[in-house]
Amino acid sequence: MITTRSPRERAYLVGILLPGTAPEAVREQMGELADLARTAGAEVVGSDVHRRSDVDPAHLIGMGKVEALRDMKLEGEFDLVICNEDLSPRQQRNLELQVKARVLDRTEIILEIFAQHARTHEGRLQVEAARLHHLLPRLIGAYAYDRQVGGRRGGVGARGGFGEQQIEVERRRIRRRMRDLDREIEQVRNQRHQQRTGRRRAELKTAAIVGYTNAGKSTLLNVLTGAGVRAEQKLFATLDPTTRKLELPAGRELLLTDTVGFIQKLPTDLVAAFRATLEEVTEADLVIQVLDGSSPAVDEQAETVERILADLDAADKPRVVAMNKVDLLGPASRRRAVSALAKRYPAAVPISATQRLGMAELLQAIDRASRDDAVQLEILVPYGREGVLAELRKIGGVERTEYVEGGTRAWGWAPRHAARRFETFSQKGALPAPGA
Ligand SMILES: Nc1nc2c(ncn2[C@@H]2O[C@H](COP(=O)(O)OP(=O)(O)OP(=O)(O)O)[C@@H](O)[C@H]2O)c(=O)[nH]1
Ligand SMILES: [Mg+2]
């Protein structure tokens, strides 16, 4: 398989900057790629971003840069190259031939981390399916590669070292294994589906915790429910969903599930392979989205999460947004972070899972969003009518207020039967109730 061979291989990172892409976005991605490489067990010895007018179909980067990489390899400066862009089988093969080093892309690093972190049977099945899917087209090219280097290449596992007939045999074996895996994964899906049906019979609502990798999802699950889920300063620490019961302040219970983290450029193979797991999100009654408020890339991360939620048909579910890690922000930067996010998520709840800050507010928001009869309101209360806000607070909830010209704008909720009382102040008209 495609693995980083020894735990401390020295990796050199390569990215490209295309016209129309913001340099900061690529810089951010390169930082993340370094985190991914380290999480996979490599040591990052350097990195370089090449400005290009387009992607070279044969090598990704220009020949001049390829030769510079080869010289560095000859000097012994690194063991392997990791590209920020996904490589076609052809680009990958050509680069390996020219640089005379192993070349991995973002997908392969993520696959490697997933393979290291999968702990349950279900997780392992899904990772194996994704890896074989990725491997198959690369295996086809392995024969051509072998012919060119005279079959000298060893150690890169299934991507090299086969003769033409052997490749055919190997391909057939992989296809057979993929079919078996599909069947097993289908069984897992059915089991999960039955579990969920059972839960529904118990009439408990379910909430899925989603968010960018390392945002603090598992920490939050642990704090809220006392679950002993592994939480660490590592990307993709969680691959296998854990479900725990959460008791809401009013005594109602909810089932809370921790899920695999999202990341930008999440390989589609992986999203597909993790369908069984990600259906926890698709079928949840409520989505709890955790953001890392201390990350400078919080907005891009939110964008990624939105995209994946849309893929999972979960973008329109009732949602609670928690802006986590506010303990890392000073008061000024906290205000900045909150206001930067306010456009996208006006009702985001600032929290710190590790410091247990904002937990009461978060539970209240979860309580409200998981009620069937809650109607979300956005109202403008004129000065002098503050009693309206007090009333809304009493019978429902006020999540956020803002002083604007002409009064106080407030976001909150009221039980459906009482929502009409606030209609005259409504900014948008009543939004549909969760689940309605
Ligand atoms: N300072 C601070 N750190 C936090 C907070 N919440 C979580 N962390 C840290 O962030 C890191 C990641 O937390 P996890 O809970 O593992 O994150 P996750 O979202 O489950 O990550 P994956 O499972 O890898 O997708 C850990 O080192 C946590 O201790 C917080 O409120 N403040
Ligand atoms: Mg986790």
3-state SS, residue 252? coil
244 exposed, middle or buried (CB, 10 Å; 0-12, 13-18, 19+)?
middle
Domain with residue 431: its CATH number is: 3.30.70
Whether residue 148 has pLDDT greater than 50: no
Pick the last residue of a domain from 322, 348, 370: 370
Q: What is the model's pLDDT at position 340?
A: 78
Q: What is the model's pLDDT at position 335?
A: 79
The parent domain of residue 122 ranges over 10-169
Residue of 354, 355, 359 with the most ligand 1 atoms within 8 Å of its CB, for mutation: 354
What mean pLDDT comes out for the span 352-379?
A: 89
The pTM score is 0.75
**C-alpha 328 to ligand 1 mean position (Å):** 12
Q: Which two tokens stand for residue 353?
A: 């899972």
Give the H or E element holding residue 130.
helix 121-149
Pick the last residue of a domain from 314, 344, 370: 370
Dist. CA 123–CA 125, nearest whole Å: 5
Q: Are residues 257 and 362 in the same domain?
A: yes
Pick the last residue of a domain from 370, 391, 414: 370
Q: Are residues 123 and 264 in the same domain?
A: no
Q: What is the model's pLDDT at position 426?
A: 85
Judge whether 398 and 412 are in contact, CB under 8 Å: yes
Residue of 209, 210, 213, 214 with the most ligand 1 atoms within 8 Å of its CB, for mutation: 214
Dist. CA 44–CA 116, nearest whole Å: 19
Whether residue 152 has pLDDT greater than 80: no
Whether residue 286 has pLDDT greater than 90: yes
What mean pLDDT comes out for the span 21-50?
A: 92
More confident residue, 306 or 168: 306
Q: What is the model's pLDDT at position 352?
A: 96
Residue 181 domain-assigned (yes or no) = no
Q: What is the model's pLDDT at position 394?
A: 74
Instruction: Please state the domain count of the chain.
Output: 3
Dist. CA 385–CA 20, nearest whole Å: 49
Cβ of 357 closer than 6 Å to ligand 1, yes or no, is no
Q: Are residues 327 and 397 in the same domain?
A: no
84 φ, ψ (degrees, to nearest 5): -70, -30
Q: Are residues 135 and 35 in the same domain?
A: yes
Residue 280 domain-assigned (yes or no) = yes
